[in-house]
Structure 1
Amino acid sequence: MTIVPGQTITLEDVYAHTALTYPNTLVRELTGAEIRQIMEDVADNLFHPDPYYRQGGDMVRVGGLTYAIEPRKPMGQRISDIRAGGVPLSADRRYKTASWAAVGPEAPGPPAYDVVAQHLRDLKRVRLDPRPRVKVL
């Protein structure tokens, strides 16, 4: 389902775009090193050289971050140039993150569809940033 500019976004649209098995959200702080490691782990699920180790799925979707990925590089070397708001991530600095379907402890927050619906109500008008967030090398 695609929503085109000028089209009204309905609650049905929100549900269609956030239909998740594990919809609960999680807000937590992670270091830059932890963020990078999570991204490397997800990339390995997709690009491991041995297809029997590939777990499928898709790459992490990010807001506020940009990064480069080299799928053919080995684990630990695929993700580079991670930036938050245009500034390089610092390995030791803590960043506030939000996610859903979190790996690890159960996500205690509200379902993603409720968060998105409320955010859209608060925004009133959606403006998209056309700049790409991921650079594939």
Structure 2
Amino acid sequence: TILEDVADNLFNTDPYYQQGGDMVRVGGLAYAIDVSKPIGERISALALADTGEAVDAAKSYTVAGWASVNEGTEGPQIWDVLEAHIRKIGTVRLEPNTSVTVTGI
């Protein structure tokens, strides 16, 4: 999964494989990661951050991203949408992100 790939880029025991991670891919998700576990077993408790509702593999979800996650996607570029929003609100205030729990370090 993308979460496992990003985790491997961040926490691989071999420093040559530590490439950094693109955690913007998981905005709006809450999950736990135990980096001491093997790949495929590290991610648990995947939920929607706003509601705490567990992610259901049988359901469809609407997502947004910096790049298309679906071929043939149409609409404005996300950075244009973001720029317009910031211009509209004027000041951006960020709350601490507590949606990801990391253990096993």
Higher relative contact order (CA 8 A, sep 6+): 1
Given candidates 68, 85, 89, the residue that maps to 2:32 is 68
TM-superposed CA distance for 1:117, in Å, is 0.8
1:23-63 CA distances to partner (integer Å, 9 max, x unpaired)? xxxxxxxxxxxxxx2211221233334445x2612142333
CA contact (8 A) 2:11 2:18 kept: no
Amino acid at match of 1:66: A
- TM-score, length-normalised on structure 1? 0.56
Amino acid at match of 1:73: K
TM-superposed CA distance for 1:113, in Å, is 2.9
Change (3 A) 1:96 1:103: closer
Answering whether residue 63 of structure 2 is matched by residue 97 of structure 1, we say: yes
3-state DSSP of counterpart to 1:100 = coil
Answering whether residue 87 of structure 2 is matched by residue 87 of structure 1, we say: no
Change (3 A) 1:64 1:134: same
Identity value in percent: 46
TM-superposed CA distance for 1:112, in Å, is 3.9
Query: 1:120 corresponds to which residue?
Result: 86
Q: How many residues matched?
A: 100
Q: Which stretch shows the higher mean deviation, 60-69 or 97-106? A: 97-106
Query: 2:3 corresponds to which residue?
Result: 39
Query: 1:57 corresponds to which residue?
Result: 20
1:107-137 CA distances to partner (integer Å, 9 max, x unpaired)? 7654443121112234455443335121111
CA contact (8 A) 1:101 1:107 kept: no
- TM-score, length-normalised on structure 2? 0.69
Taking only aligned residues, the RMSD between alpha carbons, in angstroms, comes to 3.0
Of Structure 1 and Structure 2, which has the larger fraction of its residues in strand? Answer: 1
Unaligned stretches of 5+ in structure 2? none
Query: 1:129 corresponds to which residue?
Result: 95
State the alpha-carbon separation in 2 of the partners of residues 43 and 110 from structure 1: 30
